């Protein structure tokens, strides 16, 4: 059951080949393991930063690390951020905003949101030492995905269909507890900054969900993606502070 859940989480959140499984898909696509997948994605980015940081400038290493994380996830969360920004910041009615979010084309708000988040991540990583960047990316990856699991569990899903419906089933409270334990393990890398990062991630998530509730009445899969990206940036702020 655990292997099946981890496989589903990896398959859903990344482009990492996990092979074909004959077992049925677990409820919620193994969302309890989302923080672990986020930590692994952050670990990959952090290792790239450490390798290139010893050879080139920290700024270039930061660009490569952010690019690595985006490539491993297939741009899934960035796509959600773009669509969420277009919908939540545009449109005249909740129905129209949901239509905009479903449109595969990216509008002005979406482009601006993605550019700002990527630039912010690069700028924040660029002032960190390789060791701090590694810890920051691992912890940010875990915390941001835990925030996403929390939103999935607590916020109404406003579409009758869509990718986000795949993560709605299963035992939400149990998955949150498992996810929190996994995050706690990741936070041992730098527990002091991790506490500040957790506070910032919580604030970013509350602000995003408050906006989503007012504009569309709840959450969508795009809002989940925006939660992951904004949460990661918020967490990295705590590690960039000297």
- pLDDT of amino acid 167: 78
The chain-wide mean pLDDT, for the chain, equals 91
Q: Which domain holds residue 189?
A: 34-240
What are 46-74's pLDDT values in tens digits? 999 999 988 989 999 999 999 999 999 99
What are 76-98's pLDDT values in tens digits? 999 999 999 999 998 789 999 99
Residue 137 within a domain: yes
Confidence class for position 114, pLDDT limits 50, 70, 90: very high
Residue 188 within a domain: yes
Residue 23 within a domain: no
pTM reported for the whole predicted model: 0.93
Residue 28 within a domain: no
User: Which residues are paired to 219 by β-bridges?
Assistant: 157
Return d(Cα 174, Cα 78) in angstroms, integer: 28
How many distinct structural domains can be found in the chain?
A: 1
Return d(Cα 162, Cα 179) in angstroms, integer: 24
Tokens in use for 41? 């994605």
- pLDDT of amino acid 161: 78
What are 164-177's pLDDT values in tens digits? 667 777 778 888 99
Residue 49 within a domain: yes
Buried b (16+ CB within 10 A) or exposed e, 99-133: ebbeeeeebebbeebbeebbebbbebbbebebebb
Alpha helices in 21-93 (DSSP H): 34-53, 58-72, 76-89
Residue 5 within a domain: no
Mean pLDDT of 141-164: 89
With a cut of 90, say whether residue 240 has pLDDT above it.
yes
Residue 14 within a domain: no
Using DSSP, state whether 157 is helix, strand or coil. Answer: strand
With a cut of 70, say whether residue 1 has pLDDT above it.
no
With a cut of 80, say whether residue 11 has pLDDT above it.
yes
Residue 29 within a domain: no
- pLDDT of amino acid 18: 77
Min mean pLDDT across 14-28, 44-58, 179-193 is at: 14-28
Ordered DSSP codes for 82-126:
HHHHHHHHS-SSHHHHHHHHH-SS--HHHHHHHHHHHHHHHHHHH
């Amino acid at each position: 059951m655990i292997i099946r859940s981890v496989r589903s989480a990896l398959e859903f959140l990344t482009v990492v080949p996990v092979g074909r499984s004959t077992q049925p898909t677990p409820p919620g696509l193994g969302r309890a393991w989302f923080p672990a997948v986020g930590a692994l994605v952050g670990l990959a980015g952090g290792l790239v930063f450490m390798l290139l940081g010893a050879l080139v400038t920290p700024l270039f290493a930061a660009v490569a690390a952010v690019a690595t994380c985006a490539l491993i996830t297939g741009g899934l969360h960035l796509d959600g951020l773009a669509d969420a920004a277009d919908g939540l910041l545009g449109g005249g009615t909740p129905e129209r905003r949901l239509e905009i979010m479903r449109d595969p084309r990216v509008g002005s708000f979406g482009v601006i949101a993605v550019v700002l988040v990527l630039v912010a991540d690069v700028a924040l990583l660029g002032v960190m030492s390789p060791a701090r960047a590694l810890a920051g990316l691992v912890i940010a990856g875990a915390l941001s995905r835990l925030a996403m699991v929390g939103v999935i569990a607590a916020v109404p899903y406003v579409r009758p269909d869509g990718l986000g419906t795949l993560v709605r089933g299963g035992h939400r409270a149990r998955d949150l507890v498992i996810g929190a334990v996994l995050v706690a393990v990741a936070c041992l890398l730098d527990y002091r900054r991790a506490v500040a990062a957790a506070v910032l991630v919580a604030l970013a998530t509350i602000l995003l969900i408050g906006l989503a509730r007012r504009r569309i009445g709840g959450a969508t899969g795009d809002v989940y993606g925006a939660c992951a990206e904004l949460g990661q940036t918020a967490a990295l702020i705590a590690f960039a502070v000297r």
